């Protein structure tokens, strides 16, 4: 499959926007990358990149070519996975687009569990917001989407949707850690660190605070949940996260703990798992989605 090498070169150029950066990424010389690209352009009869002083950018022909390349990667991955199944050796790659909430606890647990059984399967995890998942699936950048939406119903084919309550996240020695469940008002008796506007958990809190007398601006905002976690671990502040992204049992976190917010105060949102309509997943991606789906179904309420 020599053509796949050329396809990987073109894909790297498209992703990096530079022949030199693509060469560094692929551990090739820039001249070798340039020759691959020129040979392909001569073969199809079209230039696929507009060259400029700042780098290269796909033109209209290039957009069609890169779509074909990524579809080819996807189909080749499915073929490789199915061929591996014939010999009892599960191989392949699973590319996941997910909300930030799933990065600290949920996905690492599932990926490590899957790779314990199938060590030859590789994963790529891309953090993205809810609305970006559809285009990422359509362009074959990812195989599966695992994204949270406070109210939105996704446009992609949904495999599963489960309800997600909001949780308050804090240091283990925080006064609120003594309660089994919290009211939102209790959280606002302490400094509040909030995800930025546009995050699902922020939308849940903002909706719940409308016309509440205790509503106020947060003491700190960030678009990084990792920073928010680090901040509340060292202060008396509280932040918010959906339950699958919070350190709730069975998750054990030395520096953080979490308590669910009463649903009388904050309505649940939905965690969606989905794929591109009309596309068959590879064996590896399909098996992984089944594993994740079983866990979500057992732990949370279906939509």
248 and 187 share one domain: yes
274 and 157 share one domain: yes
**CATH number where 251 lies:** 3.40.190.290
Question: Residue 191: pLDDT band by 50, 70, 90 thresholds?
Answer: very high
**CATH number where 40 lies:** 1.10.10.10
174 and 256 share one domain: yes
pLDDT for residue 89 is more than 60 = no
150 and 170 share one domain: no
| b (16+ CB within 10 A) / e for 162-192 | bbbbbbbbbbeebebeeeeebebebbbebbb
pLDDT for residue 1 is more than 60 = no
Per DSSP, the chain holds a count of helices (H) and strands (E) of 10, 13
243 and 173 share one domain: yes
147 and 279 share one domain: yes
180 and 255 share one domain: yes
Give Cβ neighbours of residue 66 (< 8 Å, ≥ 6 apart).
10, 11, 14, 48, 58, 139
Q: State how far the Cα of 264 lies from the Cα of 72, in Å rounded to an integer.
A: 49
Higher-scoring residue by pLDDT: 153, 155: 155
Q: Output the pTM of the full model.
A: 0.73
199 and 147 share one domain: no
Residue 154 counted as domain residue: yes
> CA angle, 15 as apex, 11 and 16 as ends, to 5°?
120
Confidence (pLDDT) at 87: 57
Least confident of 90-99, 167-176, 210-219, 269-278: 90-99
pLDDT digits (tens, 9 = 90+) for 13-65: 999 999 999 999 899 899 999 999 999 999 999 999 998 888 899 999 999 99
Residue 96 counted as domain residue: yes
156 and 288 share one domain: yes
Question: Residue 282: pLDDT band by 50, 70, 90 thresholds?
Answer: confident
Q: State how far the Cα of 162 lies from the Cα of 170, in Å rounded to an integer.
A: 24
Residue 78 counted as domain residue: no
Higher-scoring residue by pLDDT: 1, 236: 236
Confidence (pLDDT) at 151: 67
113 and 145 share one domain: yes
Report whether 63 contacts 74 (CB < 8 A).
Answer: no
Number of domains the chain contains: 3
**CATH number where 116 lies:** 3.40.190.10
Residue 85 counted as domain residue: no
Residue 73 counted as domain residue: no
Question: Residue 172: pLDDT band by 50, 70, 90 thresholds?
Answer: very high
Please give the mean pLDDT across all residues of the chain. 91
Confidence (pLDDT) at 134: 87
pLDDT for residue 90 is more than 80 = no
**116: containing domain:** 90-162+270-299
Question: Residue 88: pLDDT band by 50, 70, 90 thresholds?
Answer: low
Across the strands, what pairs with 8? Answer: none
């Amino acid at each position: 499959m020599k053509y796949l090498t050329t396809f990987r070169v073109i894909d790297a150029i498209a992703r990096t926007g530079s022949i030199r950066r693509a060469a560094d990424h692929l551990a090739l010389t820039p001249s070798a990358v340039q020759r691959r690209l020129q040979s392909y352009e001569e073969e199809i009869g079209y230039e696929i990149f507009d060259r400029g002083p700042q780098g290269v950018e796909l033109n209209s022909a290039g957009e069609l070519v890169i779509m074909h390349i990524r579809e080819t990667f996807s189909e080749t991955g499915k073929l490789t996975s199915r061929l591996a199944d014939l010999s009892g050796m599960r191989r392949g790659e699973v590319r996941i687009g997910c909300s930030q909430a799933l990065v600290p606890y949920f996905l690492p647990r599932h990926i490590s569990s899957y790779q314990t059984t199938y060590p030859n399967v590789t994963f790529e995890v891309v953090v993205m917001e809810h609305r970006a998942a559809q285009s990422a699936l359509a362009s074959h950048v990812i195989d599966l989407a695992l994204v949270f939406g406070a109210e939105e119903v996704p446009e992609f084919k949904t495999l599963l949707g489960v309800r997600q309550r909001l949780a308050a996240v804090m240091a283990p020695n925080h006064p609120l850690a003594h309660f089994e469940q919290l009211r939102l008002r209790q959280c606002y008796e302490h400094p509040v660190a909030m995800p930025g506007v546009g995050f699902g958990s922020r939308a849940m809190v903002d909706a719940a605070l409308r016309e509440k007398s205790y509503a106020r601006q947060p003491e700190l905002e960030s678009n990084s949940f990792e920073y928010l976690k680090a901040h509340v671990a060292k202060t008396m502040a509280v932040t918010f996260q959906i339950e699958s992204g919070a350190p709730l049992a069975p998750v054990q976190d030395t520096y953080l703990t979490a308590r669910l917010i009463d649903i009388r105060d904050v309505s649940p949102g939905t965690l969606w798992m989905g794929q591109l309509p009309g596309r068959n997943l590879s064996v590896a991606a399909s098996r992984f989605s089944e594993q994740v789906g079983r866990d979500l179904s057992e732990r949370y309420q279906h939509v």
